[in-house]
């Protein structure tokens, strides 16, 4: 069976980082940016020379993502949800807004 012409190529982590940043900006978090670090997408704020890392998105399989939060001891703690990238951004926006808020 021939492949469909409308089939998209697999997304890269850079595409996923751009999508996460776009969703965050749509929700009003213009102070946040997303970048690829090894096999993850980090969401950070502050100056690029000394960023404050807020979240780490990791692709588990297909379109399921896990999001981790950095603790006070600089360890990563997963939030209790796994799902599509857009859903993860929405859940964080709804249930973990302090992770996205700009610092005074």
Other Cβ atoms less than 10 A from the Cβ of 74: the count is: 7
Question: Quick one: which of 7, 99, 25 has its CA closest to 57?
Answer: 99
Question: pLDDT by residue (tens digit) across 63-92?
Answer: 899 999 988 898 999 998 899 999 999 999
- Residue 63: DSSP 8-state: T
What's the pLDDT band for 61 if we cut at 50, 70, 90? confident
pLDDT at 72: 86
99/54 Cα distance (integer angstroms):
6
- Find the mean pLDDT for residues 37-55: 92
First to last CA, the chain: 58
The pair of structure tokens assigned to 80 is 């209790």
Query: What pLDDT, on the 0 to 100 scale, is given for residue 104?
Result: 46
* pTM, rounded to two decimals: 0.84
């Amino acid at each position: 069976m021939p492949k469909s012409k409308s089939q998209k190529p697999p997304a890269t982590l850079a595409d996923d980082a751009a999508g996460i940043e776009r969703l965050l900006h749509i929700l009003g978090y213009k102070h946040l940016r997303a970048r690829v670090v090894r096999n993850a997408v980090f969401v950070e704020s502050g100056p690029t020379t000394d960023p404050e890392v807020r979240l780490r998105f990791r692709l588990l399989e297909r379109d399921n993502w896990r999001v981790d939060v950095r603790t006070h001891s600089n360890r990563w703690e997963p939030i209790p949800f796994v799902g599509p990238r857009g859903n993860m951004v929405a859940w964080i926006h709804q249930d973990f807004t302090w992770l996205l808020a700009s610092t005074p």
